[in-house]
Structure 1
């Protein structure tokens, strides 16, 4: 069975550790301070906008539908739907047989790549819409919470492009991980990496490595879902407080 790379004491958030394992890379033992990283992401225009949101006059409360138990339940339902989407399309057991040519051309990874991209799009659309709706509801509760909603809007506008750029690299890292697991399994079998790359090459059993990969893919999507829901959970906590 393919074994993951053994790296000592990977530090940092779970999602970052997971991606480092996929990339077979070391994490810095002294990551940059949050303030230093944010300084790289905020240009002066965004910094001024954030300063105004933090220190300016409290915005007036708005009119509109408020937050209640039905909205809370709807947020839980949307997250559950995304969880179902993550698990849909992946077999419970790797019953396929993959040809050597398919591995050589990365064709075997293509369905997983498309699945990840599709789930990413669903997460981005759902969480973006939900975050905006929760901000609107937060602005109705009090001037102080309206300020919090304004700050969140500035943070989303500033950090979302960076987040999108970073998360868009995850499918490629998974592709590298896919290939390494397959190559390690073939090596464990003491078989040539690609005995025949012709189109009619006989398919070989998937082996346990594919089950390992599928579980890693699910874990990555679940970790990304948690990352995307962090600001939403913060807004929900503010909405539930009185």
Structure 2
């Protein structure tokens, strides 16, 4: 994400006109908004198994892929997919060699349907790539050292606990994008090309949000922490 593009939470706060707190809540208060009493009980129950994880470390081999490089490639691939200009049907008289040209702005009568389909396609692509890679990172950590094995188990536990909340957060983004689209369509002073940029920025922010736990696993693997 470019330095000028806010993260997912920043976009949600800005587009929802949520007043940002002058100071960030401390770690405990932040997590209390995501983890309820039942989650705390489940986490407490999972801790004994996590702390007992003592798989022996296996030396890294030359054949083992570099997780940091794989993560960067994954991020670049998905960002490139998001940043692709949408290709929309073009009248036959303006086709060049039978190839439809990319249109930077939607047609006047276009509704949000094409954007909704793009959003779902991009989310599906992220699900297919990020989930398996996150599991692969856990497997690599689990056979690297006892401490990293514990981290892999903790990551699995937290994903189970926080998955539903994360999906609820992402659902808000989808709804806000649709409302933003209609706002742009109704105001002649707003350019639909700017909405296209907003749309892409929002999906890149979602991508970074989804990759944060994976990046943490990769960083731990690099440092051996």
- The answer, yes or no, to whether TM exceeds 0.5 is yes
Q: Match for residue 143 of structure 2?
A: 140
TM-score normalized with structure 2 length = 0.76
Structure 2 residue 213 is the aligned partner of structure 1 residue 211? no
* 1:117 shift after superposition: 1.4
Superposed CA offset, 1:57-102 (max 9, x none): 2432377987844444333222222112102252676354313xx5
What is the SS of the residue equivalent to 1:27? coil
The 1:35–1:77 alpha-carbon spacing in structure 2 relative to 1, beyond 3 Å, is closer
TM-score normalized with structure 1 length = 0.71
Cα separation, 2, equivalents of 1:72 and 1:239: 9
Aligned residue pair count: 200
The 5 Å alignment of 1:27-42 reads 27=19, 29=21, 33-40=29-36
Cα separation, 1, equivalents of 2:36 and 2:13: 22
For the aligned residue pairs, the C-alpha RMSD in angstroms reads 2.8
Cα separation, 2, equivalents of 1:234 and 1:35: 17
Contact 1:85 1:119 in 2 (8 A): yes
Q: Match for residue 172 of structure 1?
A: 175
Bigger CA radius of gyration: 1
The 5 Å alignment of 1:69-218 reads 69-90=65-86, 94-99=104-109, 102=110, 108-185=111-188, 188=189, 209-218=191-200
For structure 2, the residue ranges without an aligned partner over 5 or more in a row are 1-5, 88-101
The 1:35–1:20 alpha-carbon spacing in structure 2 relative to 1, beyond 3 Å, is closer
The 1:95–1:60 alpha-carbon spacing in structure 2 relative to 1, beyond 3 Å, is closer
Q: Match for residue 221 of structure 1?
A: 203
Contact 1:22 1:176 in 2 (8 A): no
Q: Match for residue 192 of structure 1?
A: none
Structure 1 stretches (4+) deviating beyond 6 angstroms? 62-67
Contact 1:61 1:146 in 2 (8 A): no
Cα separation, 2, equivalents of 1:121 and 1:41: 32
Structure 2 residue 14 is the aligned partner of structure 1 residue 18? no
* 1:120 shift after superposition: 1.2
Cα separation, 2, equivalents of 1:175 and 1:227: 20
* 1:240 shift after superposition: 1.2
